[in-house]
């Protein structure tokens, strides 16, 4: 069965999906049934990869994107809070596994995209995710900071900083939403009580780089990463969805401060204005009778 646990955030008009059979629904919306879209007969085999949109917003405005090395880059603005805007181009709901610095934006775990908790986006809808989901009622804002100050570094997971990644899974067949009780909280050691979480947790113990070298990378203050900022209200609940196990699309965005983008050859180096053009326009005389006071 490809039934997945999904979380719906009403404040963000989004849903979350996990490897369970439950979903979170934002409490600010009614738990009404979802009718099958009339346009569901549309051919869904068309290449939608290029139509899924992920944008990084600062003060409500998308940051400029730069295309290089086969990737998308943006310039991080130090200490600025940011949001992630996600658009679904399909006539059916999709579930989005969203990771920041290699950590799931819902539970801060490392896992495969399929096993990750996910946001759910309605047909043709756009949602905005503003922070790490800390509970069914609260999130903490994303903001650009140093590697040393990053949320990932605080959790000892500094191997995948500087990357925002979204993987989209299409719903198999729209059905009425079933509201389920929220999952039981994890104990003090961070270990869950649900058996289906075990595979994801096993992959969260150590990063690929840790396994290869046995040493966690040392965070660097010069490069951009994402911090865990101020608390904001974001109510969510779990709902149940059945997903296609094949990802419909994957969108990744690399972010760096300006200096790093220059070193990567993505942004031009900013040089101070040269005095040479001014000096080349110099003249020897002008029509003046006496020397002026300075």
Give residue-wise pLDDT tens across range 223-261.
Answer: 999 999 999 999 888 888 899 999 999 999 999 999 999
pTM: 0.69
Whole-number pLDDT of residue 21: 28
Least confident of 29-33, 149-153, 177-181, 229-233: 29-33
Note whether residue 105 is domain-resident. yes
Least confident of 77-86, 111-120, 175-184: 175-184
Please report whether residue 24 resides in a domain.
yes
Query: For residue 284, is it within any domain?
Result: no
8 Å CB contact between 98 and 104: yes
Asked, for residue 177, whether it belongs to a domain, the answer is: yes
Confidence of residue 16 (pLDDT cuts 50, 70, 90): low
What's the whole-number mean pLDDT along residues 61-70?
94
- Among 14-23, 159-168, 229-238, the range with the most confident prediction by mean pLDDT is 159-168
In tens, the pLDDT along 88-125 reads 999 999 999 999 999 999 999 999 999 999 999 999 99
**Percent residues over pLDDT 70 in the chain:** 67
- How many residues make up the chain in this entry? 294
Into how many domains does the chain fold? 1
pLDDT classification of 11: cutoffs 50, 70, 90: very low
| Cα–Cα dist 97/175, whole Å | 21
| Domain of 60, in residue numbers | 3-35+51-185+204-279
Judged against a pLDDT cut of 90, whether residue 153 lies above it is answered with yes
Look at residue 123 and tell me if it is in a domain.
yes
pLDDT given at position 200:
31
State the pLDDT confidence band at 143, using cuts at 50, 70 and 90. Answer: very high
In a domain, 17, yes or no: yes
Higher pLDDT, 1 or 31: 1
Give the residue with greater pLDDT, 198 vs 207: 207
Q: How many other CB atoms are there within 10 angstroms of residue 217's CB atom?
A: 16
Decide if pLDDT at 212 tops 70.
Answer: no
The residue ranking higher by pLDDT, 37 or 198, is 37
What pLDDT was estimated at residue 123?
Answer: 93
Residue 114 maps to a domain: yes
Is 128 within the bounds of a domain? yes
Instruction: Please tell me which residue, 22 or 83, carries the higher pLDDT value.
Output: 83
pLDDT value at residue 269? 81
Please give the average per-residue pLDDT across 119-133, as a whole number.
95
Is the pLDDT higher at 214 or at 20? 214
């Amino acid at each position: 069965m490809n039934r997945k646990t999904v979380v719906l955030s009403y404040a963000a008009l989004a849903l979350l999906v996990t490897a369970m059979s439950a979903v979170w629904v934002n409490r600010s919306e009614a738990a009404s049934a979802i009718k099958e879209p009339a346009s569901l007969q549309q051919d869904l085999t068309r290449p939608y990869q290029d139509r899924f949109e992920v944008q990084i917003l600062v003060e409500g405005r998308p940051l400029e994107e730069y295309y290089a090395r086969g990737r998308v880059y943006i310039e991080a603005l130090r200490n600025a809070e940011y949001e992630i805007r996600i658009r679904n181009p399909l006539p059916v709901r999709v579930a989005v596994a969203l990771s920041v610095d290699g950590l799931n934006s819902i539970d801060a775990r490392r896992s495969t995209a399929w096993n990750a908790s996910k946001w759910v986006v309605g047909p043709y809808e756009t949602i905005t995710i503003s922070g790490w989901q800390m509970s069914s009622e609260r999130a903490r804002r994303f903001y650009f900071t140093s590697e040393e100050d990053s949320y990932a570094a605080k959790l000892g997971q500094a191997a995948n900083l500087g990357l925002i990644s979204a993987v989209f899974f299409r719903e198999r067949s729209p059905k009425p939403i079933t509201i389920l009780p929220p999952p039981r909280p994890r104990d003090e050691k961070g270990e869950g009580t649900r058996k289906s979480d075990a595979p994801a947790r096993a992959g969260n113990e150590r990063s690929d780089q840790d396994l290869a070298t046995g040493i966690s990378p040392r965070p660097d203050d010069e490069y951009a990463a994402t911090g865990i900022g101020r608390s904001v209200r974001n109510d969510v609940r779990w709902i149940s969805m059945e997903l296609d196990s094949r990802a419909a699309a994957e969108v990744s965005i690399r972010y760096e401060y300006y200096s790093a983008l220059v070193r990567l050859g993505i942004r031009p180096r900013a040089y101070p204005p040269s005095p040479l053009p001014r000096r080349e326009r110099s003249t020897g005389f002008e029509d003046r009778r006496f020397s002026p006071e300075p």
